[in-house]
Amino acid sequence: MVTFEEAKTIAENQIPAHHSLVTIIEKPYGWYFFSQSKEYIKSGDFRLMEVGSGGFLVEKKAGQIISFGSVYSVEKDLKIYEAGLAYKSYDLIIKKVRNLNLAIILLKKLSMTFVEPEPAHGVEWKIPKQFNEKQLKEILQNLPHTFNNQRFYFRCEEFEAMKNSNVLDYELKINKF
């Protein structure tokens, strides 16, 4: 377990030298930190405020840092974390389908992708493509199936809808690489 002082040291080492910590929110699982430029803090001049950077969480369990973007509010980022969807990449393992048509609709909303390397002009291109309905239907006919390296941070509501539908039995594994 990480103490608050250890978490604060981790946080201070994470931010740029010209920043100071300005917000600290304690949760049972860690501390949310947000920083801002020292010049803005000192002067209050909005022209010196740095924007476009979300905060980050230092987990109490092992001091791991979970960085957030600037798209969502702190409350939403913490909700996404609490839903288990704040890590960068997951393997979604589908084990059972109760309603094929609804499962396809729900999985399509997750905007999951795959990569098929395509050689062209001496270069191997790896451009992500989204699964279409036909592909999902074929995949769901032969279970279990793992959708590797998926990102759900921007699909929190869609993932919650899938979870609450009880249409699929699945396992979600965090990729920590």
Model-level pTM?
0.79
Indicate the helix (H) or strand (E) that contains 79.
helix 74-82
pLDDT band for position 177 (50/70/90)? low
How far is Cα 74 from Cα 35, in angstroms, rounded to an integer?
13
Selected residue with higher pLDDT from 64 and 54: 64
Task: Give me the sign of the Cα torsion angle 161, 163, 166, 169.
Answer: positive
Tell me the domain boundaries of the chain. Answer: 4-82, 89-175
DSSP annotation of 80 reads H
Task: Determine the pLDDT at residue 170.
Answer: 97
Q: To which residue do tokens 């990449």 refer?
A: 89
